[in-house]
Structure 1
Amino acid sequence: MPVTSSHIIIADDEDLVATSLAILLRDLGHRVTVTHDGREALDADEADPANLLITDVQMPGMDGLTLVRMIQDRRPEIPAIVITGYGNTVPVNKIKPLIILQKPIHDDAMALAVATFLSSS
């Protein structure tokens, strides 16, 4: 469990996925903001900057990769965890720092990915 609470924004249009991730991350001691699309996530990050972004790739309106790029344009240091059910379609060389997780997401894999980015926060 982190010594200080890190703020994590989740952007996923699937309520079950977003809620499950939020429960896991709160149980790990993080402060979580759940959003359901890219615009909502951008607004949430502007109002209360996150230490980490977790986003689905496929969302209506703004896709997750566009969301990551837009947030990293403002704050290049923010890490992102991208979750996808579409295989290796994420251009990993264009987004850093980044971890890609395949759906279905296992709690231990998500906890490890989050700890990788936030262990020094």
Structure 2
Amino acid sequence: MIVDIIDDERHVREMLAEIADILGYQARTYQSGDEYFAYVTSPQYQPPGVVISDVRMPGIDGYNLMRKVNRLYPDVPFIIVTGYQEVEDKCSDIPHTFMRKPFNPEVLEAVLAELNLR
């Protein structure tokens, strides 16, 4: 299963990709919401099993990215990750899971298991 990871911090992208790999998932990483949405709207797009996205990024933030992707692909689930005190119900109209940074690999593993992505 493919996990798309979007975060403007390289070390966070790499850490999430490594965790996904250890858990048996294939990770694709993107450094911004704009870069990811360009991929989503390209003919090469292959919907992932899940998207893991940071909230605060330059350009399209995680919430708006989720809304834009959801309009085109309503079945793609999102895991929204942030270190900030966000209001979790900002996107209550879109199915998603919310995780706070920092988290350990077991938390991500449990969230992926809850989404039945195996």
Same fold (TM over 0.5): yes
CA apart distance, 1:94: 2.5
Q: Distance in 2 between matches of 1:113 and 1:104?
A: 14
TM-score w.r.t. length of structure 1: 0.86
Name 2:82's counterpart in structure 1.
Answer: 84
Q: Distance in 1 between matches of 2:3 and 2:40?
A: 9
Name 1:95's counterpart in structure 2.
Answer: 94
Contact map agreement 1:9 1:45 (CA 8 A) in 2: no
1:36-47 alignment runs, 5 A limit = 36-46=31-41, 47=45
Q: Distance in 1 between matches of 2:28 and 2:40?
A: 9
Q: Distance in 2 between matches of 1:43 and 1:113?
A: 27
Name 1:72's counterpart in structure 2.
Answer: 70
CA apart distance, 1:77: 1.1
* 1:35 paired to 2:30: yes
CA apart distance, 1:48: 2.2
Name 1:21's counterpart in structure 2.
Answer: 16
Q: Percent identity?
A: 28
| Stretches of structure 1 lacking an aligned partner (at least 5 in a row) | 1-5
Query: What amino acid does structure 2 have at the position aligned with 1:43?
Result: A
Tell me which of 55, 58, 61 is aligned to 1:60: 58
Contact map agreement 2:54 2:82 (CA 8 A) in 1: yes
Query: What amino acid does structure 2 have at the position aligned with 1:93?
Result: S
Contact map agreement 1:39 1:62 (CA 8 A) in 2: yes
| Stretches of structure 2 lacking an aligned partner (at least 5 in a row) | none
Contact map agreement 2:47 2:76 (CA 8 A) in 1: no
TM-score w.r.t. length of structure 2: 0.88
Tell me which of 104, 113, 116 is aligned to 2:114: 116
Alpha-carbon deviations, 1:22-74, whole Å to 9, x = none?
00001111111000101211233452221100000000011001111111111
